[in-house]
Amino acid sequence: MPIRCYLKCQAVLLVALVVFTHFTPEAECAGETAILNFLEQLRVRMCHPIPQLGLPALDPLHITHVEGKFNNKYLIDFTGSATDFMLTGLSDFIINNFKLNAIRKSIFNITLPYTAFKSIYTAKGSLGYILNLSGEGNAEAFMQNFGLQLSFNQKTGKYLGIRNLNIQIQIGGVYIDFENLLEEERINDFFHALINELGLELLGDLWMDKNAFVEQYLQERVNAFIGQYTLGDVIKLIGGSGGEGEPIFSGGPPGDCKIETTTVYTTTDMNDNNESTPQ
């Protein structure tokens, strides 16, 4: 499912962040620079599968077919499918704020300026147990200025780990168009107009209902993976300064996904051009 790819990407990002929070405070600046360089190397490879990280191509992200169901108890209850799902814009992330801290919370804040998807869909169920869903056809949507902030504390001890993971999101704009979602055309048009007008508020309600689950899920998944490693183990695994292993992208896909020149930002650069964080 698309949400699983999103969660897997967040888990990979968290693993990279956690590794470098386990440096001493004196080495935090070097760790921040290392992660910024890692993200730039990732950005220019996101149009390819990245087997070293267990990731498919992420921009565009293509899923041939997926089925699922969703029920948040009071708003939406449906089963559906997506075919030829295509998501774009994930590699255009902007890093607004980034600070590693071995004692206090580490913070990582990014914005995705414009992400969009197209798909062929089916959906059966209800909205608020009032409107019946029985649609199929083309679907498209886009989201503007999606902000994501991750903050966490590191666990103490020999092996890596995180605690107190907090995820905040902010969305600047959203638009959806699901063909034939509701049988009556006038109701279908009214529903889309309503969703596109109140979509931000509705997404906020959905996130408040599910954020604790997502935070706990990601924290457990990250800790299950990194809890068997020490900092030295992971440095050898990903390569880089002081590591004995090959760099993580060595022998992997070429860095040819971005024609334009990308910029690697340092902590000083971001402090000089810092943007607001999601609330």
Q: What SS3 class is residue 278?
A: coil
What per-residue confidence (pLDDT) applies to 241?
A: 42
Which residue ranges form the domains of the chain, and what is each CATH number?
Answer: 2-272 (3.15.10.30)
CA 151 to chain centre: 14
- 36-45, 53-62, 116-125, range with the lowest pLDDT: 36-45
Q: Which amino acid is residue 225, in one-letter code?
A: F
Instruction: Catalogue the long-range contacts made by 151-155 (C-beta closer than 8 Å, 24 or more residues apart).
Output: 151/105, 151/106, 151/107, 151/108, 152/14, 152/17, 152/18, 152/105, 152/106, 152/219, 153/104, 153/105, 153/106, 154/18, 154/21, 154/22, 154/102, 154/106, 155/223
Rounded CA separation 69/115 (Å) = 23
**CA distance linking residue 279 with residue 110, whole number of Å:** 13
Query: What is the C-alpha separation between 136 and 153, in angstroms, rounded?
Result: 45
Average pLDDT value over all residues in the chain = 77
Model confidence over 198-251: pLDDT tens digits? 777 777 776 777 788 888 988 998 888 878 887 667 666 555 543 444 567 777
Q: Quote the pLDDT of residue 5.
A: 53
What is the full DSSP assignment across 223-257?
HHHHTT--HHHHHHHH--TT-SS--TTTTS--S-S
Percent of the chain residues topping a pLDDT of 90? 26
Per-residue pLDDT of 69-96, as tens digits, reads 877 665 677 789 999 999 999 999 999 9
Q: Tell me, what's the pLDDT at 151?
A: 93
